[in-house]
Amino acid sequence: MVRLPFLSSTRGVPEAAEVPRHIAIIMDGNGRWARKRLMPRVAGHAKGVDSLREVIRTCLDRGVEYLTVFAFSSENWRRPKDEVSFLMQLFIKSLKSELERIHRNHIRLRVVGDLAPFDEALVNLIHEGEALTAGNTRMNLSICANYGGRWDILQAMRKMAAEAPGQTEAWSEESLAGHLALNFAPEPDLFIRTGGEQRVSNFLLWQLAYSELYFTDKLWPEFGEAALDEAIASYQSRERRFGRTSEQLVSDPAGPAAPDHA
């Protein structure tokens, strides 16, 4: 059985730090940013890489330990062929150009999702990048590509069934969480979606149970250091109760924990 390194938010009260330990971002609004400037949609994707670079740097500066970004969803294959192919090329190009900087900054890179449909060249590049940075501990950068929250839960269940056939009674929230693609990370403290839409679009369905949600109308290519600081400030103004009352937070900040129900 895989043991979770972190406390699950539905099974206990996770430690909440001043700076979010884990930030998860849906980088949305690239197409609209470009169309507003009478440019092709894909110009927005290219510009979005600059935003990501700035956000990574800001997260490093602020001491964020885990940054997880949604780059391509399992539903994005429904887009026009040309746009999908541009995105794949951009992914390859950006991995090549940014990897050295990522490594230099002691960041561990992971690409999370079902890599099976990707070109061999891209998959090789991903494996190279992951291997190169595997020993880095300053920050964990996870790029979700061909990722879907439902896919993730299903693949976790399949793994559990294969490991211990017929023993579904022994399954727990922890064992499921331990088989998810992001099993190395605590649940996100702060979820950010740019681009004005207020939906989760099949991102980290399991792990968002108690994340603080932050939506901004800013389009992803306009998002950077100042905008991220605003999101962090909003996070810092929230009261994270994890099911308890405000009064309990003052009198008994650490407990009581939820009963063992699963």
Residues marked as catalytic: 28, 76
Residue 193: CB minimum distance to ligand IPE, A: 8
Pairing of strands 139-147, 212-215: unpaired
Nearer to ligand IPE, 8 or 146 (CB): 146
Q: How many residues bind Mg ion (CB under 5 A)?
A: 1
Q: Where are the alpha helices (DSSP H) in 134-188?
A: 149-163, 173-179
Nearer to ligand IPE, 61 or 217 (CB): 217
When CB distances are held under 5 to 8 angstroms depending on the partner's kind, the choice from ligand IPE, Mg ion, none that residue 201 binds is ligand IPE
Residue at shortest CB range from Mg ion: 28
Closest residue to ligand IPE, Cβ-based? 31
Binding positions for ligand IPE, rule: CB under 6 A: 26-32, 70-73, 76, 87, 195, 197, 199, 201
Residue closer to Mg ion, measured from CB, 28 or 98: 28
- Residue 210 interaction partner, one of Mg ion, ligand IPE, none, beta carbon < 5-8 Å per kind: none
Cβ contact 32:117 at 8 Å: no
Residue 158: Cβ within 10 Å count: 11
Q: Is 187 in the site for Mg ion (CB under 5 A)?
A: no
Q: Cα separation of 262 and 259, whole Å?
A: 9
CA distance 144 to 181: 10
Pairwise CA distance, residues 262 & 260, whole Å: 6
Closest CA to 128 of 106, 95, 105: 95
CA 67, distance to chain mean position in Å, is: 6
Picked from Mg ion, ligand IPE, none, the partner binding residue 73 (CB below 5 to 8 A depending on kind) is: ligand IPE
Q: Which does 199 bind (CB under 5 to 8 A by kind): Mg ion, ligand IPE, none?
A: ligand IPE
178 contact choice in ligand IPE, Mg ion, none (CB below 5 to 8 Å, kind-dependent): none
Q: Single out the residue of 227, 226, 147 nearest to residue 195, CA to CA.
A: 227
Between 46 and 249, name the residue whose CB sits nearer to ligand IPE: 46
Amino acid at 163: E
CB contact at 8 A, 221 and 33: yes
Near Mg ion in 15-44, by CB under 5 A: 28
Where on the chain is the footprint of Mg ion (CB under 5 A)? 28
